A and B are shown apart, each in its own frame.
Chain A
């Protein structure tokens, strides 16, 4: 085996070129406006190319589940079937009540002259057993643009809001969880109408509630739901429960933490939601003036109605209007 004795060494000029190319790519990826971002298309195509690798890694897990189903004993299946049957009955009973309430709600809304809320379309997706970047909280799901998934689409599970789609490829898409340090979503405290921002902290099971004054009427155990402002998440879905309130006189805002309702990193089946009639100004235009959807200082509000400062950095990452 003859090898050339003196091979051409790596040139610094070449290195400089590729370093520059990386920096340009990173800047474009970070700064470019969402609608003129051609990198997004490139990324989608390349993600489709690497999907076979991700599928291969996920395959043993899927196969294992299939196998455990296949060799499950008759007795186990009977017990499971019974449980599911009972649960189905219970849910159907609840559903009857729900339909009744829904029609009543619609009637009341029509009396008030406000537009009725319509239902949302959902699609079940499966979480692939793939580890993404260890420094962020993201998931990969097995539905992509082929199934109509779009960037910014909300993702829920049986218990509450999980996150939103950030990158879409043909067969898969990646989802940023609400606990990601880059994620913030507008929420509302049930019964109190207090609105705030739930931001991820990077920890698995924590949300920070931002911009709450020290005397804000919020207590441990309060339930948080999506407020629908921001145009990404449909209103009224549970987000989390307040577990810690620390009013700190030295700080301008209280330190409030919540625990997410959704089982974020444990479940395998998730739901993709297609919100309908979701464009700002969003809900209840009659009650709340659309001042704060315009990100201006609210002028005619009572003290406890809106406790959110102007210029909330919620939607910096994501466009206000969901792509069609």
Chain B
């Protein structure tokens, strides 16, 4: 088995994703912000499932909670579930055509953020209307480009 390398590349992509997460957007666009971290996590889970998995997803979720000042563990829960499903299905998702891949990503993003809505609802601050589904729509649209960029990065730095 080859020595693993390129761990810092994975960390850098997540750092960049976190910057996109807190990047200020105009008021109308805030709910439409794509789930950058969710998409990056899905990519690494299907590309290098032996390295990025449930534990990484959970850790990323904790950082997400700290960064956006939400209840500690809220996003950790969704991202470890997301990492689990993505690595479970990674062989299938890899051979999908891109549009099918994008819809799977959209569905995954929508599904795993559902528990967040429930938990926020239990705490008495439910999100208004269907706005929690907006990120999955923009994620579907942007998945193709994010996939190409991350694939080129992975090939260039030989992450495995």
Contact = CB atoms under 8 A, between A and B. Distances in A.
Interface stretch (A48-56, A70-78, A249-257): A48-56
A166 B62 CA distance: 18
Nearest to A14: B54
B69 A30 contact: no
Interface stretch (B18-26, B97-105, B136-144): B18-26
Interface residues of B, number: 51
Interface string A47-87: 10110011011000100000000000000000000000000
Given A18-B80, A181-B125, A4 B50 contact: yes
Contacts of B62: 25, 46
B18 A19 contact: no
A26 B119 contact: yes
Interface string B120-137: 100111011001000000
Contacts of B88: 9-10
B160 interface: yes
Contacts of B36: none
Contacts of A4: 1, 50
A7 B70 contact: no
B125 A136 contact: yes
**Which one of B50, B84, B88, B160 has the greatest number of beta carbons of chain A within 10 Å?**
B84
B66 A43 contact: yes
A25 B70 CA distance: 12
B37 interface: no
Interface in B54-69: 54-55, 57-58, 61-63, 66-69
Nearest to B72: A29
Interface of A: 1-4, 7-10, 12, 14-15, 18-19, 21-26, 28-30, 39, 43, 46-47, 49-50, 53-54, 56-57, 61, 129-136, 138, 140, 166-167, 174, 181-182, 202, 204
